[in-house]
Every structure is written in C-alpha cells, then in structure tokens.
C-alpha cells in the first residue's frame, strides 16, 4: 500500500511534468491547428537556460542556493523560452499566414552565423556570418522573394519538423552534444509524512506544476487575453472581425506555452539532472500523446492527459516492464487514435461538406 502511494506520487509528479509540456502543444493546436513539433525543443532550451543561469558565477554569488533563487532561475528561463517561442512563431509559422518582413533575413542570418562558426570558430566569425546572412536576406526580400501563403496544414507541419530539427542540431552545435549536469539549486530535504518518504524536489515539482496550471486556468478563463485565445481557437476569422489582433494573440499563446514547457524542463531537470540537446524528443512525444489523450486543443484535457499518462507509465514500470516504459506512450497513442481520436475530453471536429 505504501509503495502504491509512493508510486502514485511518482506518477503524479511525472505526469505533471508531461502536463506542463502538453499544455503548450494543446494551446498552439487550438489556435493554429498545428502540431508544433518544435515545442519539445523549447522544453530543452528552457532546461539549458536554467543550467547556464544557475551556473553563472555572478548569479550564484548574488543569489546563493535557496528555494527563492531556484524560482528565480525558473522564471528567467521561462521568460527566455517565451521569447524563443515568439521568435519561432514569428519567423517560421507566421510568414505563411500574414504578410511579414525579414523572414529571409532572419533565417539566412542564422545560417550565416552557423556557417561563420564553422569556418571561424570565434565570436567575430559568428557575428560576421550572421550579418552577411541578414544582408543577403534583406536584399533578397527587396528583390521580390516573398513568403507564399501556406494553405495546407501539411506545409506548416513540414516547417514545424524543420524547426524542431534545427533547434535540436543547433542546440548540439551551440551547447555541445555531450550531456551536462543540471546544478543542484534546491536544498535537498527528505520529508517523512507518515510512512511515506518524499524528497523535496518531487514535492516542489508537484507544487509548482499545480500553481502554474492554476495560473494558466485563471489567464485563459478570466482575462481578456485568455478570452481572445479561446475565440481564436474557435474561429480565427470571426475573432479578427471582432477586432482581436489574432497575430498578437497567437504570439501570446506561443509565449505562454513555451514558458510552461521551460518550467517543465527545469522541474524535470531538478529530478533528473542530466541534460542534453536531444532531451526533449522523448518527453515531447509523450507530452504530445498526453495532449491527444486529453483531447488536443482542450486545455484541461492536456492536464488530465498528462497525469493519466504519467501514472500509466509509472504503474507499468512498477508492475513489471521497465524496458517497455517508452512503448506505453506509443500504445496509448495508437489506441486513442484508433478508438477515440477526439480524446478523453475533446470534441470532435466535423468537416462541413
């Protein structure tokens, strides 16, 4: 019984990590009908941001190790990741639906920076390459290279895959492919509640996740932005007609989802300190399954889906097969898609003939 409760707690804390990531998938799908493959890499980015901030000497000197400083690390990482999310939306997904400028400049600038690093291995080379790329991009745009309207979801999906791979390999390039150890920024205490042995990181993960999810609920259901988000997820055109700046709302959605993913990244790194640029692939896939399980596009569904999947995994490991832990997610995905594709809480989307 005790171990069962123990496993329950494990499952919930694992599940809340999945839920945090799943929320990002579901929110973006809600407003854009896009499976943002790149989301899992924002999770990774968040963890790495946390790593660099926490390891920063100045930061360590000023903040020390405490619950508060850990929260600051997480908050900063969330802000930076929100920024990344906004950038991704702006330069990868938005060109296909709204007139934008400097898209080519951005991507060529990044390519140039990577190239510069390749050739020169110095900061100057990177900057030089970036500037060269931006210049070519601006010229190209002036010459008439304009983004094409992305009518199909297929196109957006391919772009999303491209961005995801870009982030993963870019991460390997910038952060180095070798795994790093996330610093211990939390005082590690063991709590004994009755017969249960809980260590504080797990409780923190649980606690913070709950707080974040409550916050998200408040934002989505009680603020104007949240209302606008819901409007956009129902009908983009109608939302536009109601005076909602849909591009800004979509950007905000990405920002929120990315921040949550980053939080997830930090929280998971507290429990499992090994981080590396491909760390997002597996949890990302599972979180996506969780989002589908709960009903893609459905925010409470993502939370429920995450918890259910987390529990299912922990139970499966406990009951026998740890080798097949990763397979659980796939099996769940296939079963859900075959039998109830709209998920536990979702509503089916009917196509009008």
Partner 1 sequence: MRKAIFWIAAVLILAGLQTQLVGWIGAYYYKIVILAGINIILAVSLNLINGITGQFSIGHAGFYAIGAYTSASLVHYGESAIRGTVAFLPRFGQDTVLLLLGILVAAIAAGLAGVAVGIPSLRLRGDYLAIVTLGFGEIIRVLILNIDAIGGARGFSDIPPLSNFFFFWVFLFVLMTVGTIHNLVNSSYGRAFISIRDDEIAAEAMGVDTTRFKVLSFVISSMFAGIGGSLFGHYTAYLNPNSFTFVTSFYLIIMIVVGGLGSIGGSILGAILVTVILEAFRSLSEFRLVGFSILLVLVMIYRPQGLMGSRGMFKFKRRAAVAK
Cα-based torsion angle of the residue sequence 235, 237, 239, 241 in order, rounded to the nearest 10 degrees: -150
159 binds partner 1 (CB under 8 A): yes
Maximum Cα–Cα distance for the chain, whole Å?
72
Nearest in space to 336 (alpha carbons), one of 301, 88, 185, 277: 301
- Per CB under 8 A, the list member of 83, 120, 128, 147 interacting with partner 1 is 147
Q: Looking at residues 27 to 56 of the shown chain, list those that interact with partner 1 (rule: CB under 8 A).
A: 34-35
Contact predicate 46/265, CB 8 Å: yes
SS3 183: coil
- Per CB under 8 A, the list member of 15, 30, 96, 264 interacting with partner 1 is 96
Instruction: State how far the Cα of 147 lies from the Cα of 100, in Å rounded to an integer.
Output: 8
Element (H, E) at 20: helix 2-32
Give one DSSP letter per residue of 52-74, joined into a string: HHHH-HHHHHHH-SSHHHHHHHH
107 binds partner 1 (CB under 8 A): yes
97 binds partner 1 (CB under 8 A): yes
162 binds partner 1 (CB under 8 A): yes
In terms of Cβ atoms closer than 10 Å to its own Cβ (0-12, 13-18, 19+), residue 187 is exposed
Alpha helices, DSSP H, located in 186-245: 200-222, 224-234, 236-241
166 binds partner 1 (CB under 8 A): yes
181 binds partner 1 (CB under 8 A): no
4 binds partner 1 (CB under 8 A): no
Candidate ranges 17-25, 47-55, 62-70, 156-164; the one touching partner 1 (CB under 8 A): 156-164
Contact string (CB under 8 A) for partner 1, positions 211-250, x = contact: ------------------------------------x---
Instruction: State how far the Cα of 277 lies from the Cα of 187, in Å rounded to an integer.
Output: 26
Smallest gap from residue 16 Cβ to partner 1 (A): 23
Contact predicate 320/312, CB 8 Å: no
272 binds partner 1 (CB under 8 A): no
341 binds partner 1 (CB under 8 A): yes
SS3 162: helix
150 binds partner 1 (CB under 8 A): yes
* CB closer to partner 1, 64 vs 176: 176
Nearest in space to 16 (alpha carbons), one of 325, 305, 318, 337: 305
Candidate ranges 11-19, 47-55, 142-150, 307-315; the one touching partner 1 (CB under 8 A): 142-150
* CB closer to partner 1, 71 vs 157: 157
| Token pair recorded at residue 106 | 């951005």
Cα torsion angle, 342, 346, 347, 350, sign: negative
118 binds partner 1 (CB under 8 A): yes
348 binds partner 1 (CB under 8 A): no
111 binds partner 1 (CB under 8 A): yes
34 DSSP 8-state letter: -
* CB closer to partner 1, 205 vs 336: 336
92 binds partner 1 (CB under 8 A): yes
342 binds partner 1 (CB under 8 A): no
State the residues that interact with partner 1 by CB under 8 A: 34-35, 92, 95-99, 103-104, 107, 110-111, 114-115, 118, 145-155, 157-159, 161-166, 168-170, 172-173, 177, 247, 285, 288, 292, 326-327, 330, 333-334, 337-338, 341, 351, 353
């Amino acid at each position: 019984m005790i171990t069962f409760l123990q496993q329950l707690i494990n499952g919930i804390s694992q599940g809340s990590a999945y839920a945090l990531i799943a929320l990002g998938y579901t929110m973006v799908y809600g407003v854009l009908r896009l499976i943002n493959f790149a989301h899992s890499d924002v999770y990774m980015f968040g963890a790495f941001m946390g790593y660099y901030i926490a390891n920063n000497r100045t930061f360590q000197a000023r903040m020390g190790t405490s619950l508060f400083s850990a929260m600051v690390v997480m908050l900063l990482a969330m802000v930076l990741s929100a920024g990344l999310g906004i950038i991704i939306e702006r330069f990868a997904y938005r060109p296909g639906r709204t007139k934008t400028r400097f898209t080519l400049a951005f991507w060529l600038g990044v390519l140039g920076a990577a190239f510069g690093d390749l050739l020169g291995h110095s900061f100057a080379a990177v900057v030089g390459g970036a500037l060269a790329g931006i210049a070519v991009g601006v010229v190209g745009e002036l010459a008439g290279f304009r983004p094409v309207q992305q009518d199909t979801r297929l196109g957006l999906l391919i772009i999303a895959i491209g961005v995801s791979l870009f982030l993963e390999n870019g991460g390997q390039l910038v952060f180095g492919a070798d795994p790093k150890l996330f610093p211990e920024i939390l005082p590690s205490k063991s709590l004994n509640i009755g017969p249960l042995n809980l260590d504080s990181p797990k409780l923190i993960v649980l606690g913070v996740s709950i707080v974040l999810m409550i916050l998200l609920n408040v934002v989505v259901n009680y603020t104007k932005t949240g209302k606008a988000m819901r409007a956009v997820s129902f009908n983009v055109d109608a939302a536009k007609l109601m005076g909602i700046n849909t591009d800004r709302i979509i950007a905000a959605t990405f920002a929120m989802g990315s921040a949550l993913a980053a939080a997830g990244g930090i929280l998971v790194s507290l429990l499992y300190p090994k981080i590396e640029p491909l760390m997002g692939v597996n949890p990302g896939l599972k979180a996506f399954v969780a989002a589908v399980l709960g009903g893609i596009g459905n925010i409470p569904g993502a939370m429920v889906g995450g918890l259910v999947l987390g529990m299912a995994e922990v139970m499966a490991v406990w009951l026998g097969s740890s080798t097949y832990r990763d397979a659980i997610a796939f099996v769940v995905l296939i079963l859900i898609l075959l039998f109830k594709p709209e998920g536990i809480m979702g509503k089916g989307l009917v196509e009008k003939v």
